[in-house]
Structures are given as C-alpha cells and as structure tokens.
Homo-oligomer: A and B are copies of this chain.
Amino acid sequence: MNKLAELVFVGLGLYDEKDISLRGLDEIREAGAVFAELYTSVMHKLSIKKLEERVGKRISIIPRGVLEEDAGRIILEQAKKGKTVLLVPGDPLIATTHVDLRIRAEKQGIRTRVVHGASIISAVIGLSGLQNYKFGRSVTIPFAEGGFPSETPYRVIGENKAQGLHTLCFLDIKADEEKSMTILEGLKTLQALEGHKKQNIITSETLVIGIARAGSEAPRVKAGDIEDVMNHDFGASPHALIIPGKLHFMEAEALVTFAGAPEEVVERVQ
C-alpha cells in the first residue's frame, strides 16, 4: 500500500459553496482527486461549478445512492494512489453511508481524516434558542409507507416529554422523488398518531417550533400552538420541527423574541 494513501472527508456545511472552511478548501487544493456526494442532505444553493472555479480543479459528483457500491470502490481505488477528498453536505460521518465508507477505507489500509463542517443538528438547536443539554433523543418523522405512519416519533416525543426534554424531529427526505416533508405534513402526521394512540402527547395546546432553511441566509423560525404553526407560511424546504419539553426562563424568552411565540403559550410549559 502507498504510504500516501489517504481519504479526507470534508464537510460542506449547510447552504452553498461558501460554507466550506478555509481548511476544507486547502484540502481540495492539495488533493489528487476530489469527489462530492450531495444526496444525503439538501444544500439549498450549492454550486459545485462555482467551487470548481474557485479551486481550479475538477470535482466528480457521485451519482445518487451508489456510494455503497461502485462509486465507493472508485473513491477507494483513487485514495490508494494518494490524497483524495470526498465532499459531503453538513458535518461528515453523521450519515451512516460515510461511516460505512470510512470503515471500508481503514480496513484497506487507507488513512482517513475528517474536516468538520456546520451541522444541521447544532444549527437547528441554536436557531431555536433552546439549550442543547435539554434535548433528548432526536427522531425522523418518515413519510407513511403504504398505510399508517411509523409510531416511533410519537413514542420518542412522549418519552422525552416525560423527562421534561425537548425533541428535535428531522423531516423525511425522499431523495429519489426530490420530495421533502414540510412542517405542516410533519404536524399532521403527529396529529394522526395522537388520534390513534390517544396519550395526550400532541394536543391543540402543545407548543411546537417550526424551523425552515436552517443555515441559509433567510431561515424562518416560528413557535406557538400547533394550529398556529400549521397555518404559518414557512416557505421553501428543508424544514424541521422541535417539540419542547419543559422550558427554562431564558428558553421561553428566546421563543418569544426570535420565534414569535405568544407569551401565554410559553408560560404553559415553563
């Protein structure tokens, strides 16, 4: 094995080609080959062409869904010859498919490194004004596959609430159909689950927070009663949801100040 065999995972951040770090840019410039995987997350306005112009180097875009197979093999073969960069949305290694590729690389004797990027996880938490250590397990609300939706989100929100904890709900993305779940669809799914399970976890008085386009130049955050948030126009995707548990005073103040939450609504959950 070539001593210089190396695969560097570089995070692209959240919005466009200007969200990469200076360190990430240097890695591209020094690499023998550069690939980009763009289907594990939505980057609002990324232009690989602009990034290519900036670094003066060709970037190969991995076709959707084949990182596990041929594309992964091609990247690893390239990395065996010398330093190779794989650009990915957000922070690398949050997507399972990248962890899998990293395991394969290391097993073949290829050194791996990570250049971190801004992640949707901390971006959404930060924009909400809620405190990180008060979040329980996060969950994805999936599109219903032929019939009734998965009960997991409802159960996780219930478990977190019972401990006074907030739940960050990612909303499903169907990359193949270029379809991503809206806040309205996510809340309707939770209401349908409430209608079925009847545990009073999602009621008309439940405080919810909708967050659209985290990381973009124009994110939108709105907190309030569920109907209030369902009627709000959040604009383009991607969307996310937070179902708060118990609020600290400063968290309540943040929701009133940044997210237009009515004071009487946040008082209920303090």
Q: Which of A95-103, A176-184, A262-270 contacts B (4 or more CB under 8 A)?
A: A95-103
CB within 8 Å for A250 and B140 given contacts A93-B127, A118-B91: no
A11 proximity list for chain B (CB < 8 A): 118
A82 proximity list for chain B (CB < 8 A): none
Q: Which residue of B lies closest to A139 (CB)?
A: B133
A137 proximity list for chain B (CB < 8 A): 133-137, 163, 165
Cα distance A127–B99 when bound, in Å? 9
CB distance from A99 to the nearest CB of B (A): 5
Report yes or no: B21 in contact with A258, Cβ–Cβ below 8 A: no
Counting every copy of the chain, the complex holds 2
Within 8 A of B (CB), among A1-57: 11, 13-23, 25-26
A122 proximity list for chain B (CB < 8 A): 90-91, 94, 116, 119, 121-122
A138 proximity list for chain B (CB < 8 A): 132-133, 135
Cα distance A14–B133 when bound, in Å? 19
CB within 8 Å for A121 and B121 given contacts A22-B22, A23-B15, A250-B96: yes
Please tell me if A149 contacts chain B, counting CB pairs below 8 Å.
Answer: no
Please tell me if A253 contacts chain B, counting CB pairs below 8 Å.
Answer: yes
Cα distance A136–B162 when bound, in Å? 13
Report yes or no: A129 in contact with B257, Cβ–Cβ below 8 A: no
**Residue of B15, B21, B140, B163 touching A20 (CB-CB under 8 A):** B21
Please tell me if A126 contacts chain B, counting CB pairs below 8 Å.
Answer: yes
| Residue among A92, A113, A257 with the highest chain B CB neighbour number at 10 A | A257
Please tell me if A106 contacts chain B, counting CB pairs below 8 Å.
Answer: yes
Cα distance A137–B21 when bound, in Å? 29
**Residue of B13, B102, B250 touching A129 (CB-CB under 8 A):** B102
Chain A positions within 8 Å of B, measured between CB atoms, are 11, 13-23, 25-26, 90-94, 96, 99-100, 102-103, 106-107, 113-114, 116-119, 121-123, 125-127, 129, 131-140, 159, 163, 165, 215, 217, 219, 250, 253-254, 257-258
13 additional A-B pairs beyond A18-B21, A99-B250, beta carbons within 8 Å, are: A13-B116, A14-B116, A19-B22, A21-B22, A21-B118, A22-B25, A99-B254, A103-B129, A114-B123, A114-B219, A116-B118, A122-B122, A133-B139
